[in-house]
Amino acid sequence: MLADDVWRYRSSSGPVVDAGLVVAFPSALPTGLARGVGAGVTSGGWLAWGARAAWVTATESSLPWTVTHSDLRLRATGALQHTAGRGTIGLRLGLGGTLVHETRTRNQGMRAGLMGAALETRSFALLPAADLDAVVALHIAGPWLLMMSGGPSVDVFEDKLHGGWTAQLGVGWQP
């Protein structure tokens, strides 16, 4: 049996640590949907700051190639937020970089006797990036929260702005 204290809400101004599942447009791949995990920490009152990290990956195929694209998104964040009852709503701006790793494999290349760079290529790139997310957090039980966020994302790839979006659904903990 759960005690009534489990569901009791107590106001806290401590830091929030959260983690969850992420879906996003890949940073440099012009198609597909990347899926992965993300985590972050936020501290402060109506004006908050923190850091976020997410790793997402997508794989796309065409007749000649299979492309696997992975993004490691690292952001420093600032947020305006308002607490109302058990919930908190806010607007979070994240600035930082996205480390992109891309692997291209030639389909049926091994059957043709290809090896090395003729069969597979790999590349890395670090892209400047920014995110603007709407954030909703709801205290569920004790220090545990349900966290949802999402919004537009932009990065600079080959001297052009590349837009997309990012969304996360997860849990948070606030001592």
pLDDT, tens digit (0-9, with 9 covering 90-100), for 90-115: 999 999 999 999 888 877 776 667 66
Residue 8 lies in a domain: no
Residue 68, in any domain of the structure = no
Query: Which SS3 state, helix, strand or coil, does residue 174 take?
Result: coil
Q: What is the mean pLDDT of residues 142-164?
A: 92
Whether 9 is in a domain gets the answer: no
% the chain with pLDDT above 90: 58
Q: Specify whether the CB–CB gap between 72 and 53 falls below 8 A.
A: yes
pLDDT at 31 (0 to 100): 75
Query: φ and ψ at 114, to 5 degrees?
Result: -75, 145
Burial of 62 from C-beta contacts in 10 A (0-12 / 13-18 / 19+) = exposed
Q: How many residues does the chain have?
A: 175
Q: How many domains does the chain have?
A: 1
- Of residues 81 and 6, more confidently modeled: 81
Averaged pLDDT of the chain: 88
d(CA 66, CA 59): 7
The verdict on residue 36 lying in a domain is yes
pLDDT of residue 111: 64
- In this prediction, residue 126 carries a pLDDT of 94
123 inside domain:
no
1 is a domain residue? no
Per the structure, the complete domain to which residue 40 belongs is given by: 16-62+75-97+129-169
Task: Say how many Å lie between the first and final Cα of the chain, rounded.
Answer: 23
Q: What is the pLDDT of residue 107?
A: 77
